Every structure is written in structure tokens, then in C-alpha cells.
Amino acid sequence: MENQSSRWHGRYDRLLRAAKQLPPVTAAVAHPCDEVSLKGAVEAARLGLIGPILVGPPDRVRDVSERAAVCTPTS
């Protein structure tokens, strides 16, 4: 018997496969000044789902990027 977690993962995997067949969507990521927000945007970009535009204080975004070992554009 399939549990709820594995059903959720199956749905997520199907959604991800469908989204990867589309071109990336340009998305503004507002105030990604914490590790979770920034890593989420970077991961979505790496998967080809979004072309992120990071909107926030550049120094704070850069600081979070360095602390989280995430590579982000400098402009």
C-alpha cells in the first residue's frame, strides 16, 4: 500500500518533469536574504525552471550567498 509521502513525491516528480519541458520563466525573487530563500531560487534556476531576478539589498544577498556557499550573479 502506497503511503501519502510517496504519492506526494510521485506527483512532485511528474510536475517537475512537465515543468522542465517548458522554457524557464523569468521570476523576481523578492528579498532572498536568508539561506533557504536564496538556495531555493538557485536550485530552481539550476533545474531550468526559472531565470531568477534577485530583488533585494545587494550586500545582504551577497553576504548570504557567501555564507551559504551559493554562487550568484554580481549584477
pTM of the model: 0.79
Domain tally, the chain: 1
Residue 17 resides in a domain? no
Residue 1 resides in a domain? no
Q: What residue numbers bound the domain in which 50 lies?
A: 23-75
Residue 12 resides in a domain? no
Residue 38 and residue 61 in contact, taking contact as beta carbons nearer than 8 Å: yes
pLDDT at 4: 83
Output the tens digit of pLDDT for each of the chain's 75 residues.
568 888 888 999 999 999 999 999 999 999 999 999 999 999 999 999 999 999 999 999 999 999 988 864 554
Following CA atoms 68, 64, 38, 71 in sequence, which dihedral angle do they give, to the nearest 10 degrees? -60
Residue 68 resides in a domain? yes
Residue 7 resides in a domain? no
pLDDT at 75: 47
Residue 2 resides in a domain? no
